[in-house]
Structure 1
Amino acid sequence: MKALVLAGGKGTRLRPLTHTSAKQLVPIANKPILYYGLEAIRDAGIRSVGIIVGDTAREVREAVGDGSRFGLEVTYIPQEEPLGLAHCVLIAREFLGDEPFVMYLGDNFLVDGIADLVDAFRGADHDAQILLTKVAEPRFYGVAELGPDGEIVALEEKPVHPRSDLAIVGVYTFSPAIHEAVRAIRPSARGELEITDAIRWLVDHGFRVHSHLVSGYWKDTGRLQDMLECNEIVLQTIEHDVRGTVDGFSEISGRVVIAPGALVENSVIRGPVVLGANTKISGSCIGPYTSIGEGCVLEGAEVEYSIILGESSITGVRGLTNSLIGRNVEVTRSMDSPHVNQLMVGDHSKIQVRA
Structure 2
Amino acid sequence: MDGMDTVEAVVLVGGKGTRLRPLTLSAPKPMLPTAGVPFLAHLLSRIRAAGVRRVVLGTSYLAETFSAHFGDGADLDLQLTYVVETEPLGTGGGIANVAEHLTAEHVLVFNGDVLAGTDLRAVVETHRKAEADVTLHLVRVPDPRAFGCVPTDETGRVMAFLEKTPNPPTDQINAGCYVFRRQVIDTIPRGRPVSVERETFPGLLASGARIQAYVDSAYWRDMGTPFDLIRGSADLVRGIAPSPALPGPTGEVLVLDGAEIAADAVVDGGSTVGCGARIGPGATVTGSVLFDGAVVGAGARVEAAIVGAGSVVGDGAAVLDCVLGDRVRVGAGCELRGGMRVWPDTVLPDGSVRFSSDA
Same fold (TM over 0.5): yes
1:142/1:89 Cα in 2 relative to 1: closer, same or farther (>3 Å)? farther
Conservation of the 8 A alpha-carbon contact between 1:40 and 1:113? no
Q: Which residue of 2 aligns with 1:28?
A: 34
Q: Which residue of 2 aligns with 1:259?
A: 256
Helix, strand or coil: the match of 2:326? coil
**Residues 1:219 and 2:238 are matched in the alignment:** no
2:312 is aligned to 313
Work out the CA distance in 1 between the residues paired with 2:281 and 2:107: 51
Tell me the residue number matched to 1:247: none
SS state at 1:145 partner: coil
**2:46, 2:185 → 1: CA distance?**
24
User: 1:78 Cα shift?
Assistant: 0.8
CA contact (8 A) 2:117 2:220 kept: yes
CA distance in 1, matches of 2:41, 2:123: 19
- The SS at the match of 1:76 is strand
Q: 1:180 to 1:345 in 2, by over 3 A?
A: same
1:146 maps onto 2:152 in alignment: yes
1:305-355 Cα deviation digits (max 9, x unpaired) = 2333432221135332233333333322478xx9xxxx99549xxxx9359
Relative to structure 1, the CA distance from residue 22 to residue 206 in structure 2 (aligned partners, 3 Å threshold; closer, same or farther) is same
Q: 1:58 to 1:142 in 2, by over 3 A?
A: farther
Matches within 5 A, 1:1-355: 1-97=7-103, 99-112=105-118, 114-135=120-141, 138=144, 141-147=147-153, 150-156=156-162, 159=164, 163-164=168-169, 165-183=171-189, 192-196=193-197, 197-237=199-239, 255-265=252-262, 267-271=264-268, 272-300=270-298, 301-333=300-332, 345-346=342-343, 353-354=354-355
Give the number of equivalent residue pairs: 329
Residue 250 (structure 1) aligns with: none
- 1:234-285 deviation line (CA, Å, top 9, x unaligned): 122299979xxxxxxxxxxx74333332222354123243322221211242
Amino acid paired to 2:313: I
- Work out whether residues 139 and 218 of structure 2, in 8 Å CA contact, stay in contact via their aligned partners in 1: no
- In structure 2, relative to structure 1, the CA distance for the partners of 1:140 and 1:316 (3 Å cut) is same
1:51 deviates by 0.4
| Alignment TM-score, normalising by the size of structure 1 | 0.81
Measure how far apart 1:163 and its partner are.
4.5
Please say if residues 240 and 255 of structure 1, whose CA atoms lie closer than 8 Å, have aligned partners that are also in contact: no
Deviation string, structure 1 residues 132-181 (Cα, Å, up to 9, x no partner): 1234665664532335665422214x647784443201111110232244
Identity %: 26
Is the CA contact 2:8–2:104 (under 8 Å) kept in the aligned structure 1?
Answer: no
Q: For 1:278, what is the secondary structure of its paired residue?
A: coil
After TM superposition, the score normalised by the length of structure 2 is 0.80
CA 1:259 to 1:18, structure 2 compared with 1: closer, same or farther past 3 Å? closer
1:232–1:259 distance in 2 versus 1, CA, 3 Å:
closer
Once residues 7 and 240 of structure 1 are traced to their aligned partners in structure 2, the CA distance between those partners, rounded to angstroms, is: 22
Q: Is the 8 A contact 2:9 2:107 kept in 1?
A: yes
